[in-house]
A and B are shown apart, each in its own frame.
Chain A
């Protein structure tokens, strides 16, 4: 098929070119084509991202050829020649060397095929499954570069502390898997503690804790909660604690936590220790009245703040959870700061001082304040 040259203006100084090649059609345009002169000395090539990426590295060569070409048609044929050659070498590159397959097979033999749970169609990535000493299932994700085994594969796994899983002897998958198994054993105690947390109390956040999550937000009842950050290497020691909720409810707990740390006993699990120090029993998700514990915002009735249709790009990330609670202990309604702000802005009785809005709780009329920079 012949390339097609379409003039873009009346004086024939710019052309749009359609160049069919290997079942595809490349399109680009050439500007500053001189009239009645030999050589396209000042001509310029403009092309789309696809063509540009193919020509990457040889742009200066193409430009040189263009400026030395006698006429447009000669240049287009030359460009076709260049493209053909580049595309041929690229397609050769995209298939791995035969050694890749042989090596992959012997590597899988070494690891054991029973561990392989998923393999990409183009063999570029695979998942291994291993079980730890407590019988938990763990999945290891491995990406194989085309240059494998000369190039090291990359591995990623759900561990509380990121580990660089690299083979020490060449590119042995067996090596990576055994390193992963060692890493897993290091966190047995951590997962034991976290599984106890997840099974015994009401975890509000994260929604579905993964093996890597060291953070939990635990419901306390009365719209209050406690967030903890657990040290994965020392999961039985005191975690970093933060209380959320009305001051009246939460302040005594803060005091108990500060004064009662000598009751902390590392032979107990974390929840048992927290309950002993805070002198309470955490409500569990099953036996709690939903009405009391529902932490939905008292204004929009949602837990996760709905994103605004005006800014649709917010949709990717999850909305915030209620972070403002009425200080009146008998009310203690939770709100999203954004909702509270919108409500206080919409009524005339609200007062503002610098960036803080002062108004009243929509439920109990107790004074409530919110920063206006939140929205």
Chain B
């Protein structure tokens, strides 16, 4: 499983300050179904996801890796599933997620917490466990540890 590391520059003061605040807000009020694994690295968060009860993914556990660019929140964080990604029509087998807010629709109004909620809602609304139809081709193209942020995404389906 690739845990592609984007070329990381240290966080700017603005980014570090904002992430500190997001993290303390998370500790007081974490999004339901998520657990932040405590590390001393503010720039890479590892988050455990529990599939919502009553959905295809209930009782399943996955892991998200969130990497923040130095100029966060002007730029979106890179969010991928690590280890075994869930089988979902918008999640590639290399962990990349096809979700517009992670790319073109990112705005500084969003937070790690709101991203997590979007991902959980994306999982919860799935009607079948399947890989995206272009999974093999996409994963082959990403083999050199390419970041999903370099992909030109097509967000053709907003139902799932």
A interface with B by C-beta (< 8 Å) = 298-302, 306-309, 339, 342-343, 346, 362-363
Contacts and interface: CB of A to CB of B under 8 A. Distances in A.
A299 B108 contact: yes
Given A306-B14, A306-B17, 8 more contacts: A298-B109, A299-B73, A300-B73, A302-B18, A309-B12, A346-B71, A346-B74, A362-B107
A332 B18 CA distance: 20
Nearest to B110: A362
Given A298-B108, A298-B109, A343 B22 contact: no
Interface residues of B, number: 14
Contacts of A342: 71, 74
A339 B14 CA distance: 9
Contacts of A346: 71, 74-75
Contacts, number: 40
A300 B19 CA distance: 9
B103 to A, nearest CB: 12
Contacts of B22: 301
A375 to B, nearest CB: 13
By secondary structure, the B interface counts as loop
Contact of A302 (B14, B71, B74, B109): B14
A301 B18 contact: yes
B55 to A, nearest CB: 29
Nearest to A299: B108
B109 A300 contact: no
B129 interface: no
Contacts of A302: 14, 17-18, 21
Contacts of A339: 14, 108
A26 B109 CA distance: 62
Contacts of B143: none
Contact of B109 (A306, A308, A309, A362): A362
Nearest to B21: A301
29 contacts: A299-B74, A299-B108, A300-B18, A300-B73, A301-B18, A301-B21, A301-B22, A302-B14, A302-B17, A302-B18, A306-B13, A306-B14, A307-B13, A308-B12, A308-B13, A309-B12, A309-B13, A339-B14, A339-B108, A342-B71, A343-B107, A343-B108, A346-B71, A346-B74, A346-B75, A362-B107, A362-B108, A362-B109, A363-B107
Contacts of B21: 301-302
Interface in B1-44: 12-14, 17-18, 21-22
Nearest to B10: A309
Contact of B14 (A298, A300, A362, A363): A300
Contact of A301 (B12, B13, B17, B74): B17
Contacts of B17: 300-302, 306
Contacts of B71: 342, 346
Contact of A343 (B13, B18, B74): B74
B29 to A, nearest CB: 11
Contacts of B108: 298-299, 339, 343, 362
B51 to A, nearest CB: 30
Which of B14, B17, B71, B73 has the most CB atoms of chain A within a 10 A radius of its CB?
B14
B40 to A, nearest CB: 21
B110 to A, nearest CB: 8
Interface string B100-111: 000000011100
B150 to A, nearest CB: 16
